[in-house]
Amino acid sequence: MGHFEHFLHYGGEAIPYTIKVGAGSRERVRIHVHPNGSVEVEAPADATADDIGKAVQKRARWVHDHVCDAKRRFEHVLPREYVSGEQVLYLGRRYSLKVRQVPREERSVKLKGALLEVAHNQISTDAVRARVRAWYRLKARDYFAYRLGVIAKGLPWPQEVPSFQLKEMRTRWGTCAAGGMVTLNPFLVRASRDSIDYVIAHELCHLREHNHSPEFFRLLSRAMPGWETVKQRLDETAEVILND
């Protein structure tokens, strides 16, 4: 499969989009506007550049409106300062950050009731951010491994629980390689538990169907009935979850 940069022209604007050509795609051209406003077009292997261009142009207004909505949501999010009193998310719940300066040997990050307490010898934004990110990765690794096991065992495939890795991504919650390796975004651990289950179920369905064919969505609906509502809620809060 290949990636190429193209532009959709609408209302005097040029909106960039990426084309992903999938040998396994038997479907029509599909357009995805990611939560941060980037646009990806999935095309069948036999689609010509002209076919793809026409399909995207036909939905120009839809793409433009969704890109504008995504960017508008992101504009209202202030950069994090990592100071006491700031709100942080973990498994869909809000906690207040509490930052304390301590000697180097007493450093820790702990959930205490409604607080996420960061005790650190350096209390600059960068130092506290690094500690919180490391804590999120640790929590993500353990929680995702647990849910991946539970969800995989509830499906008729795979035969064994697939391996997974963590990778910070700006446009995706997860991916699944053809070889079966699942990649999950550690920032997802800030989202609600059902959102995490949706992303894991989505990637597990890609072990059977490597494209977004009707069969893929049938599998997903069987794995997680009502996933559409969960996905919509996740995408609508993406700008807060991805804010770092």
| Helix axes of 49-58 and 60-75: crossing angle, nearest 10 degrees | 70
Q: What pLDDT was estimated at residue 24?
A: 54
**pLDDT reading at 68 higher than 90:** no
Task: Specify whether the CB–CB gap between 243 and 79 falls below 8 A.
Answer: yes
Please tell me whether residues 94 and 39 are part of one structural domain: no
Please tell me whether residues 163 and 206 are part of one structural domain: yes
Residue 59 is classified by DSSP as: T
Q: For tokens 């804010």, what's the residue? A: 243
Task: Specify whether the CB–CB gap between 151 and 204 falls below 8 A.
Answer: yes
Q: How confident is the model at residue 178 (pLDDT cuts 50, 70, 90)?
A: confident
Query: Which residue, 35, 51, 75, sits at the end of a domain?
Result: 75
Q: Per mean pLDDT, which range of 1-15, 29-43, 162-176 is the poorest? A: 1-15
Residue 236 phi/psi, 5-degree rounding, is -70, -25
- The predicted-structure confidence for 106-132, as pLDDT tens digits, reads as follows 999 999 999 999 999 999 999 999 999
Residue 123 belongs to domain with CATH number:
3.30.2010.10
Helix H or strand E encompassing 196: helix 193-205
Q: Per mean pLDDT, which range of 16-20, 62-66, 86-90, 137-141 is the poorest? A: 16-20
Please tell me whether residues 134 and 221 are part of one structural domain: yes
Please tell me whether residues 44 and 95 are part of one structural domain: no
Kindly state the average pLDDT of the residues 42-57: 87
Q: Which two tokens stand for residue 152?
A: 């995989």
Query: Which residue, 75, 107, 136, sits at the end of a domain?
Result: 75
CA angle 113, 114, 117 (to 5 degrees): 80
Q: Which two tokens stand for residue 122?
A: 């350096």
Domain contains 80: no
Cα separation, 205 vs 220, in Å, equals 6
Domain contains 45: yes
Whole-structure pTM value = 0.75
Please tell me whether residues 123 and 29 are part of one structural domain: no
Domain contains 194: yes
DSSP secondary structure letters along 206-221: TTT-SS--HHHHHHHH
Q: What pLDDT was estimated at residue 34?
A: 83
Cα separation, 215 vs 107, in Å, equals 50
Number of domains in the chain: 2
Domain ranges, residue 12: 3-75
Residue 180 or 182, more confident = 182
Domain contains 82: no
For 77, residues 6+ apart whose C-beta sits below 8 A from its C-beta are: 239, 240, 243
* pLDDT, the chain, mean: 89
Q: Which of 152, 113, 109 is nearest to 132 (CA)?
A: 109
Please tell me whether residues 43 and 99 are part of one structural domain: no
Please tell me whether residues 54 and 124 are part of one structural domain: no
Query: Which residue, 25, 54, 75, sits at the end of a domain?
Result: 75
Domain contains 81: no
In the chain, what is the greatest distance between 2 CA atoms, to the nearest angstrom?
Answer: 63
Q: Which two tokens stand for residue 20?
A: 């992903």
Task: Specify whether the CB–CB gap between 140 and 184 falls below 8 A.
Answer: yes
